[in-house]
Amino acid sequence: MDNRIDVELDPASRLRRYIEDHGLGAGSKLPPERQLTEELGLSRATIRKALDVLERDGLIWRHVGKGTFIADSGAPKAPATATIELGRQLTPFRMMRARLAIEPAIAREAAMNASGEALSRMRRAIERAKAATTWHEYEIQDDNFHRAVAEASDNLLLLSLFDQLNEVRRAVAWGSVSRDTARPSPNHFSFSEHDAIAAAISRRDPTEAYEAMRLHLGSVAKRLFGEE
């Protein structure tokens, strides 16, 4: 294997090339930043910016205290075929009911256990969602926000449960969702709702965090189905 990295590539592209050259697939853990700086010949600050780009693009995800991983993995999951089959049997309405049953409780745990880094990850996802120039970019950051809340619970079982829930959600046949604009509007309803969730978690208010997440998912359900 040729370990040389083209120095003419931008840092994010060099990091992508590194991942490809080392055969790092979904669930693989990236080396620590110190090792990446040595192997890629980049400063730690530049490495962090490159990691931010890859995280924004949904290519990696970070777990506080454990490291950086190639998406989509990081926790034990049901076999792909079982997840797809479950998604096929589940209606979008039932999927939302499952989220309403589980995610508010995860937000409550997050309010009691979130680290400073977890709070920063939530805020970063919120800011990137607001800056998204396409619905696809927004949806990646929306996903990152909800996973950051699950990570903030500091409970591997709850995080694993969220990951499996999210995998099933992706397999559910939602049908076509019409978009009237190329990107979310500045007053998109989820922006203020995500702000409220993050604020309650930052205040260490488990009751308010639970309620803020419940209201957010209820709002999504109402827009999709006309009722909570």
Residues 143, 166: contact at Cβ < 8 Å?
A: yes
CATH 1.20.120.530 fits 80-225, yes or no: yes
Domain regions of the chain by residue span:
11-70, 80-225
Which CATH number describes the domain made up of 11-70? 1.10.10.10
Residue 124 CA from chain centroid, whole number: 11
Q: Supply the pTM of this predicted model.
A: 0.66
Residue whose token pair is 């890859």: 54
Per-residue pLDDT tens, the chain, 228 aa: give them: 444 444 456 888 889 889 888 888 877 889 999 999 999 989 988 998 888 888 877 788 877 667 888 886 444 444 456 666 777 788 888 999 999 999 999 999 999 999 999 999 999 999 999 999 898 888 889 999 999 999 999 999 999 899 889 888 877 866 555 667 888 888 899 999 999 999 999 999 999 999 999 999 999 998 888 754
What does the alpha-carbon distance between residue 45 and residue 2 come to, in Å, rounded to a whole number?
26
Residues 111, 201: contact at Cβ < 8 Å?
A: yes
- Cβ atoms within 10 Å of 14's Cβ, excluding its own: 21
Structure tokens at 5: 């990295």
The secondary structure of residue 31, as a DSSP letter, is P
In the chain, where does DSSP find H-type helix?
11-21, 33-40, 44-56, 80-89, 92-113, 116-131, 135-152, 156-171, 189-202, 206-225
